[in-house]
Structure 1
């Protein structure tokens, strides 16, 4: 081809983003603490420092950070498998559960396919779905702030590839019962992957939610999604995992970004699983504070749904929400506001929790919940 046959691009032309990317809403992280007097209750992190065994494992692994991590995360996968009594072939890991979820959607969805999930739920769901070129199908929560499984089943079409079920739900904290979830699974086509997102499962009371492993063993289209970011206190290292059939798990490992889970994160996750009793003791203290806070807020006049996460959900209409956000900001308390819906408050240490209780007492008379 000669030079005069080349078609010159207009001088003003510049690279452009895909339409799906340009139109994506930005994920809104919880605001960061900026001082000793700030109570950081916006991100549902553990307020405890990392487990000592995890800190020691990271320190020991740091001396080899010039080397790439094990891309297959074999040791970590084998340790997770022993923990949950599955095989390593059924385990896929990624940079946090949201990273694994991106692997799930990338691995199963073509352009135009549909992903069904409740709304409001985890904010990353529609972002990841649209980024893959798939179509998000939002199904409103029921009157009890939980998943409306009948409506979700009715929303399934021939293009549905994945259903996302967050239990306990983020941000409302409401779990899905085992019986309801099993009935839902019986009504859904077997070629639709049903992802049970259990980021907060360690904080849930026994029997409040599903026995996801039992359902997984019974229904091969179930995938369990979990993380080390919450109860295990490894939010800064980014490591999560999925349990799925060997074929699906292998596909998730193929769609993973190479070396996405660092060697430090892998070692810390293994050490955290080995320190399970210490983690459970910390979780027990958080649950005690959750119960105490909920009881006091209800005594103040707030109407709360029973939560099974490490957070409380306060429903508030737009005028009340604006007042609460201003009040929390003025008091140096970072919380997560959801415009038009309410505010999510992480349960932390008793001192921080008491600050929340004192503030909300001044606004309880304004609630219409």
Structure 2
């Protein structure tokens, strides 16, 4: 028997070693006399509706595998959204559903070439990780000064290798939402064989004029995928449940790459209970939208120039001062999300947390 001896450490494949690390929002640090608040992960501070807790308490099948395709949830969504159940594919949060899309439609090819995925930047931090893990090449298009997608530049970036385009609306972390008319115009100009993903993780919080009707675009454009989650408005972030909606010429391929049992029994039951009490979900969202408006108005009054956020957060374009601001927030027992050299994203949280954040913005001075 031949024995092999290799020196050195065990290393991953090259593409893995080059991946950027995902940096989750950190918890707040305690400070004397102050209640700590986490405003760094865009979580819903109000939590899920009471019916979710009851639904979870009634589950006695933890020793059984969940439904492989979350059929109950998909059926409930199909009835609510008036779409065929076959057009819905569930995933572990919208990120899990997005991973299915990229794995199915973009990667590396047998001739050594790479498919391309276009998205705005800065946008959702997981985009480059998902794209590069699949072996595809990401093509980033800078957002404009007001934090909005530069759709014309994104169209100009399309090549024969473009397979997927990601439109994050509202955009995380900058906040602006795309209008229906501009997305409709974008789709009319983009090649019909390129998959266009409308990432709507925060769509329940949008209150802008000409609001995007993503479902109508999915019905008229077979290359459109709508991406949604229960993590934000429904307050189910810990249970990881999301879904995509697309034509069956797309979903048939998503099911091939989807991990079986991706949505747990707990997650499915919680999501269904939340859907059955949408009036309460909407009340919670409305209160957070009102707080967003109050916070934004206070920041404008204090002299800040910030993008018009349509999510459950605001963006401070602080550039090189971002880490300094986050550090000063930490002294106030507030955890915020700093993107070094770019800006700070702050979740709309509890009223006391928002008040403390507003006061920090009023008194903030950069420390050299």
Which residue in the other structure is 2:111 paired with?
none
SS, match of residue 291 in structure 1: helix
- Equivalent residues in 2 for 1:104-183, closer than 5 Å: 104-111=101-108, 112-183=114-185
Structure 1 residue 23, shift from structure 2 partner: 1.0
The whole-number CA distance in structure 2 between the counterparts of 1:206 and 1:84 is 21
Instruction: Indicate conservation of the 8 Å contact 1:92/1:250, yes or no.
Output: no
Does 67-76 or 46-55 show the bigger shift? 46-55
Which residue in the other structure is 2:270 paired with?
268
Does 128-137 or 14-23 show the bigger shift? 14-23
Which residue in the other structure is 1:301 paired with?
303
Which residue in the other structure is 1:190 paired with?
192
Instruction: Indicate conservation of the 8 Å contact 1:54/1:272, yes or no.
Output: yes
Which residue in the other structure is 1:341 paired with?
342
1:81 aligns with 2:83: no
Which residue in the other structure is 1:68 paired with?
65
The whole-number CA distance in structure 2 between the counterparts of 1:43 and 1:168 is 15
Residue by residue over 1:173-219, the C-alpha shift from the partner in whole angstroms, topping out at 9 and shown as x without a partner, is: 10111111111101111110000000000011164531111111111
Structure 1 residue 11, shift from structure 2 partner: 3.5
Structure 1 residue 115, shift from structure 2 partner: 0.3
Which residue in the other structure is 1:48 paired with?
46
Instruction: Indicate conservation of the 8 Å contact 1:90/1:243, yes or no.
Output: yes
Structure 1 residue 322, shift from structure 2 partner: 3.0
Q: 1:208 to 1:123 in 2, by over 3 A?
A: farther
Q: CA RMSD in A?
A: 1.5
Residue by residue over 1:149-187, the C-alpha shift from the partner in whole angstroms, topping out at 9 and shown as x without a partner, is: 000001011111100000000001101111111111011
SS, match of residue 237 in structure 2: coil
The whole-number CA distance in structure 2 between the counterparts of 1:34 and 1:209 is 38
SS, match of residue 236 in structure 1: helix
Candidates 236, 239, 261, aligned match of 2:238:
236
Candidates 314, 317, 331, aligned match of 1:315:
317
The whole-number CA distance in structure 1 between the counterparts of 2:97 and 2:319 is 34
Residue by residue over 1:205-255, the C-alpha shift from the partner in whole angstroms, topping out at 9 and shown as x without a partner, is: 164531111111111100000000000000000000000011311221221
Residue by residue over 1:118-155, the C-alpha shift from the partner in whole angstroms, topping out at 9 and shown as x without a partner, is: 00000000000000000000000012210000000010
SS, match of residue 225 in structure 1: strand
Structure 1 residue 42, shift from structure 2 partner: 0.3
Instruction: Indicate conservation of the 8 Å contact 1:168/1:209, yes or no.
Output: no
The whole-number CA distance in structure 2 between the counterparts of 1:207 and 1:214 is 17
The whole-number CA distance in structure 1 between the counterparts of 2:46 and 2:28 is 15
Instruction: Indicate conservation of the 8 Å contact 2:169/2:176, yes or no.
Output: yes
Which residue in the other structure is 2:27 paired with?
32
After the TM superposition, which segments of 4 or more aligned residues of structure 1 sit over 4 Å from their partners?
33-36
SS, match of residue 45 in structure 1: coil
SS, match of residue 61 in structure 2: coil
Instruction: Indicate conservation of the 8 Å contact 2:87/2:251, yes or no.
Output: yes
1:92 aligns with 2:92: no
Structure 1 residue 13, shift from structure 2 partner: 5.1
In structure 1, list runs of 5 or more residues that go unmatched: none
Structure 1 residue 257, shift from structure 2 partner: 1.4
Which residue in the other structure is 1:22 paired with?
17
Instruction: Indicate conservation of the 8 Å contact 2:29/2:333, yes or no.
Output: no
